[in-house]
Homo-oligomer: A and B are copies of this chain.
């Protein structure tokens, strides 16, 4: 006891977004230990001695999805003293974006995990529903500045797919023509020579990110007061 102050359990919980069948989905799974064992919850874990909270979150992400090096960002701290039942646990929520088309789906089933549409979530334990709400807000903010689709869509995608993703994120529709023009004007996508025949008779060109890393926090939508 170095300081005369209490110590606390510190956990991380991950709001993992995916995109499937035109819907924004969330990875949830049945909690594997007490309290509330069996109830739906966000993947989480405890922060260990020699890791930062972010590192703990990446560890959890790796364990539950098999994925590393994916986009992740802090949402907020949840620290109400009574937010869990058995003991006081302070939790840092993170949100992450993954490509659901990946191979690792069997690994998910192994834990009983499920991709659940964001608009139709079951009841979650503790304050996890609040975490999801906050995370969705953060995601919307993020997506309104950066062209975030990279992390959620496959390598190659059509502009219509990107639009549908944005419609899922913002829960509203975008004009197809205007959306296309706006996105292309950003100069962040490069057209491939391939076409996607699904989705229309004509076929739509596939695009990929040209990801000039340089323009991370891009200059679109600046202060503008």
Interface of A toward B, CB cutoff 8 Å: 2-3, 5-10, 46-54, 74, 76-77, 79-81, 86-88, 90, 92, 140, 143-144, 166, 170, 172, 174, 179, 182, 221, 223-225
Contact B90 A10, beta carbon cutoff 8 Å: yes
Contact B80 A52, beta carbon cutoff 8 Å: yes
Additional A-B contacts beyond A3-B9, A7-B8, A10-B79 (4; CB < 8 A): A5-B9, A7-B9, A47-B90, A52-B79
Given contacts A5-B9, A9-B5, A74-B76, contact A174 B225 (CB under 8 A): yes
* Inter-chain contacts of A47 with B (CB < 8 A): 5-6, 8, 79, 90
- The docked-state distance in angstroms from the alpha carbon of A172 to that of B225 is 12
Contact B49 A225, beta carbon cutoff 8 Å: no
* Inter-chain contacts of A9 with B (CB < 8 A): 2-3, 5, 7-8
CB contact between A5 and one of B48, B90, B92 (< 8 Å): that residue: B48
